């Protein structure tokens, strides 16, 4: 069967492409290249440059390539930008997802896998335990709301038309392909591990740490960093589960273990062999002390067993990709 990967030229989507290629599976990428890079997917990949909101184009791609499932990564992902420009986030993430879901329903596709996010939980200030999927959903940004709305549409489309879907709520995605074939390339990315690596490699001046007075062991925020290669494997398994008849499901994608900002700084110093400055600055609005996934549902429904769940490996793979980007920029 052939799978349509939307946003396949992006950070996570490009890892999905390499994983599917490694597994010998057939896929086609649809990407408008707004933030993605065509050179980060395998050379022979059929790439359609276009928009997920273009229903005629999507219908044509489904028909021509005999698409039977969609893995939907395409979207806009910068939380602060969603606050200043909410309507463009609702358009790209919600309105265009609705359009794509309609394509999937009309073509009677067998499965639809959706990139959701821990941002649907909002700011669970009191959370001391890993979060299960059943806690209250209170997104605090248009980005989180735009993803929650898509989850709701999938739920309703599942009930009404029998669309089978899985929505994976990613926690903090990090790392890069261990074989160095792709990685996070967005220059203005705000992900902590990427930014800290850039500081270690002299690409940024210093690292600001937002708050050291949280109720955590070292006072800095704790997050659940999931290696992007484990994350894309979860998508492949979720798809297989649906194809084997599993009911639609929503599941957290994280390891269930958190690391503090200072743990990340220490790992980057160790892996890079560099020392660098950090600055303690006041807390940012909306950062919960701890966000850690209870991922038992993902494990039990799909049989997912992470293999890259080691902070040092995540940092090392991400550092290698950052070095590759530096070399590449010298050639340009």
Among the candidate windows 6-14, 236-244, 276-284, 298-306, which touches ligand NAD by CB under 6 A? 6-14
Residue 89 is a catalytic residue: no
For 55-71, give one letter per residue: b (16+ CB within 10 A) or e.
Answer: eebbeebbeebebbbbb
The number of beta carbons lying within 10 Å of the beta carbon of residue 205 is: 11
Contact between 233 and ligand NAD per CB under 6 A: no
Nearer of residues 53 and 158 to ligand NAD, judged by Cβ: 53
Nearer of residues 6 and 233 to ligand NAD, judged by Cβ: 6
Q: Are 94 and 149 in contact (CB under 8 A)?
A: yes
Contact between 7 and ligand NAD per CB under 6 A: yes
Which residue of 74, 131, 153, 251 would you call a contact of ligand NAD, by CB under 6 A? 74
Within 8 A by CB and 6+ apart from 202, the residues are none
Nearer of residues 144 and 267 to ligand NAD, judged by Cβ: 144
Contact between 51 and ligand NAD per CB under 6 A: yes
259-260 and 222-223 as β-strands: parallel, antiparallel, unpaired? antiparallel
φ, ψ of residue 134 in degrees (nearest 5): -90, 0
Nearer of residues 212 and 267 to ligand NAD, judged by Cβ: 267
Per-residue binder mask for ligand NAD (CB under 6 A), 90-129, x = binder: --x---x------------------x-x------------
Beta bridge partners of residue 4, listed in sequence order: 28, 70
Least distance (Å) between residue 48 CB and ligand NAD:
9
Q: For the segment 129-188, give every residue that binds ligand NAD (CB under 6 A).
A: 170, 173, 186
Taking the alpha carbons of 88, 94, 99, 104 in that order, is the dihedral positive or negative? positive
Rounded to a whole number of angstroms, the CA Rg of the chain reads: 19
* Catalytic pick among 121, 143, 165, 170: 143
Contact between 196 and ligand NAD per CB under 6 A: no
- Active site residues per annotation: 143
Q: Which residues here bind ligand NAD, judged by CB under 6 A?
A: 6-7, 9-13, 30-36, 51-53, 73-75, 77, 92, 96, 115, 117, 170, 173, 186
């Amino acid at each position: 069967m052939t799978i349509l990967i939307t946003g396949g030229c992006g950070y996570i989507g490009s890892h999905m492409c390499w994983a599917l290629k490694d597994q010998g599976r057939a896929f086609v990428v649809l990407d408008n290249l707004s933030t993605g890079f065509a050179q980060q997917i395998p050379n022979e990949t059929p790439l359609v440059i276009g928009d997920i909101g273009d229903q005629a184009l999507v219908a044509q791609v489904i028909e021509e390539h005999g698409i039977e499932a969609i893995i939907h990564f395409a979207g806009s992902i910068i939380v602060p930008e969603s606050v200043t420009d909410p309507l463009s986030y609702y358009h790209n993430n919600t309105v265009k997802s609705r359009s794509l879901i309609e394509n999937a329903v009309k073509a009677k596709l067998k499965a639809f896998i959706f990139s959701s996010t821990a941002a649907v939980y909002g700011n669970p200030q009191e959370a001391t335990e890993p979060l299960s999927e059943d806690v209250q959903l209170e997104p605090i940004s248009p980005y989180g709301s735009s993803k929650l709305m898509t989850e709701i549409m999938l739920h309703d489309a599942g009930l009404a038309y029998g669309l089978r879907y899985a929505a994976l709520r990613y926690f903090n995605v990090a790392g890069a392909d261990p074989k160095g074939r792709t990685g996070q390339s967005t220059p203005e990315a705000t992900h902590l591990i990427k930014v800290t690596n850039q500081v270690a490699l002299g690409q940024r001046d210093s690292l600001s740490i937002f708050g050291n007075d949280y109720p955590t062991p070292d006072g800095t925020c704790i997050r659940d960093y999931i290696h992007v290669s484990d994350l894309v494997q979860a998508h492949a398994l979720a798809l297989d589960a649906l194809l084997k008849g599993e009911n639609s499901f929503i599941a957290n994608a994280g390891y269930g273990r958190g690391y503090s900002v200072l743990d990340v700084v220490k790992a980057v110093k160790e892996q890079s062999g560099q020392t660098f400055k950090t600055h303690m600055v006041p807390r940012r609005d909306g950062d919960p002390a701890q966000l850690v996934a209870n991922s038992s549902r993902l494990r039990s429904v799909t049989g997912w067993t992470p293999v890259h769940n080691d902070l040092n490996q995540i940092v090392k793979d991400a550092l290698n990709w950052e070095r590759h980007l530096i070399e590449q920029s010298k050639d340009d």
